[in-house]
Amino acid sequence: MKDYFNLQYVMTNRKIKETGLNPLLGYLLGLTAFVLLSEYIFHKTEFAKYLVILTCLSLQIKLSEKNRTDFLLSTFGDKSKMKIRVLENFIICIPFVSFLLYKSLLFEASILFLCSIILALFSFHSNFNLTIPTPFSKKPFEFSTGFRKTFFIFPIAYALTVIAIIVDNLNLGIFAFLLVFLTSLSYYHKPEQEYYVWVHAETPKAFLKNKVLNASKNTTLLVIPIIISLLVFYPSKFELILTFFLIGILFLWTVILAKYSAYPDEMSIPEGAIIAFSLYFPPLLLAIIPFFYSKSINKLKYLLNDYN
């Protein structure tokens, strides 16, 4: 078990070094980004505590994937596998629980800690044999595959919108609104195989243009029921609702361009830190988007025709 965690530590350090950062500096930057982002969320919405809990649990659910826990079981045996899973969830929940305690949210921190330990006792299948219909075509593939994995989030977001209107709480409606955007952003965090880029008979500029336009169209399709509902019941907040929508679209573009600025590698700490910092100060997006766009064009030239 000790060797397993040593191996995870070495692999994490290696990933940080591949980004060109010293591991210690990488950990410090990650912690700073976490604190700044958490403070920003608590400053913007009263539902930040639920978002913190949801984020922590979603990270732990990924560790409970059935194939992964089966591997731990076959390698270490049942008793050690259970200890490993409990320790993994404990390590992940430390920053989230600590921040909730810092905010004097003792009850929420206790619930998160308890859920983290209980969650370590279960395994979940990530793949279903049932093919769930989607409102999207196969192009782009990110939305058709991502929607099938996260389809349960959208009824929750729409239900939160209805509750927000019933209890007259616009902040809850905005939270539902952001939940849909965060889900759409998650479809672009991992790079596809090079073949799926190479098959496009386009220039890098046309490829990126189609990516951001299709993503904008599909995200708007998912979020439009919430926008219309909020605009109908809160017409005086027209500017605020549309501002959140426009910022969400800009973040969507930023994440897509950041993905291809690091392509074919995954987004690393520098890209993540830039995006996290722009969450704290959204006007930075106007400078970050052209920066990532320029880097993406250079990264895609070796796979796509650049005859323009």
| pLDDT digit string, tens, across residues 122-166 | 776 655 455 656 666 656 678 877 787 777 778 888 888 888 888
| Average of per-residue pLDDT across 112-124 | 83
Cα–Cα distance, 117 to 110 (Å, whole number)? 11
CA distances from residue 273 to 1, 259, 266 in whole angstroms, order as listed: 32, 13, 14
Torsion sign, CA atoms 140, 142, 146, 148:
positive
Q: Cis omega before residue 155 (within 30°)?
A: no
Core vs surface per residue 264-290: b (16+ CB within 10 A) or e: eeebbbbbbbbbbebbeeeebbeebbe
Entry pTM: 0.65
* pLDDT at residue 228 tops 90: yes
* Residue 277 and residue 284 in contact, taking contact as beta carbons nearer than 8 Å: yes
